[in-house]
Amino acid sequence: MKKKVIIKTEILCKSFVSDGEINNVIKNLDMEIYEGDFTVIMGSSGSGKSTLLYSISGMDEVTTGKVLFENQYITNLKEKDMAKLRKEKLGFVFQGIHLIPNLTVYENILSPTYKTKVIRKEIEDKIDSLLEKMHLSMQKKKFPNQMSGGEKQRVAICRALINNPKVLFADEPTGSLNSSQGKDVLDIFTNINLEGQSVVMVTHDLKAAIRGNRIIYLKDGRIDGDLQLDEYDISNSKDREEVVFKFLSEKGW
Ligand X SMILES: Nc1ncnc2c1ncn2[C@@H]1O[C@H](COP(=O)(O)OP(=O)(O)OP(=O)(O)O)[C@@H](O)[C@H]1O
25 interface partner picked from ligand X, Mg ion, none, CB below 5 to 8 A per type: ligand X
Q: How far apart are CA 242 and CA 238, in angstroms?
A: 6
Options 46-54, 125-133, 140-148, 233-241: segment touching Mg ion (CB under 5 A): 46-54
Supply the minimum distance, in Å, between the C-beta of residue 27 and ligand X: 11
Q: How far is CA 74 from the centre of its chain?
A: 18
Binding of Mg ion by 50 (CB under 5 A)? yes
Question: What CA–CA distances, in Å, run from 153 to 54, 98, 108?
Answer: 18, 9, 12
Calculate ∠ Cα 97-101-102, nearest 5°: 155
Q: Which of the choices Mg ion, ligand X, none does residue 51 contact, using the CB cut-off of 5 to 8 A by kind?
A: ligand X
Q: Please, what is the minimum distance in Å from the beta carbon of residue 49 to Mg ion?
A: 5
d(Cα 208, Cα 206) in Å, to the nearest integer?
A: 5
Single-letter residue type at 25: V
Strands 64-69 and 5-18: antiparallel
* 93 vs 105 by CB, closer to ligand X: 93
Least distance between ligand X and beta carbon 132 (Å): 31
Q: Which does 212 bind (CB under 5 to 8 A by kind): ligand X, Mg ion, none?
A: none
Give the residues across from 222 on adjacent strands. 219
Of 50 and 108, the one with the shorter C-beta distance to Mg ion is 50
The interface region with Mg ion, picked from 29-37, 49-57, 157-165, 242-250 by CB under 5 A, is 49-57
Residues near ligand X (CB under 6 A): 16, 18, 23, 25, 43, 45-51, 95
| Minimum CB distance to ligand X smaller for 166 or for 211 | 211
Q: Are strands 198-202 and 38-42 parallel, antiparallel or unpaired?
A: parallel
| Residue numbers 106-125 binding Mg ion by CB under 5 A | none
| DSSP at 47 | S
Give the residue at shortest CB distance from Mg ion. Answer: 50
CA distance readout (Å), 32 to 28, 48, 187, 204, 226: 13, 17, 25, 21, 11
- CB of residue 211 vs ligand X: minimum separation in angstroms? 18
Q: Considering the complex, state which of residue 42 and residue 134 has its C-beta at the smaller distance from ligand X.
A: 42
Closer residue to Mg ion (CB): 37 or 171:
171
162 Cβ partners below 8 Å, 6+ apart?
Answer: 91, 109, 110, 112, 113, 123, 126, 127, 130
Return the number of the residue (37 or 172) whose C-beta is nearest ligand X. Answer: 172
List residues binding Mg ion (CB under 5 A): 50
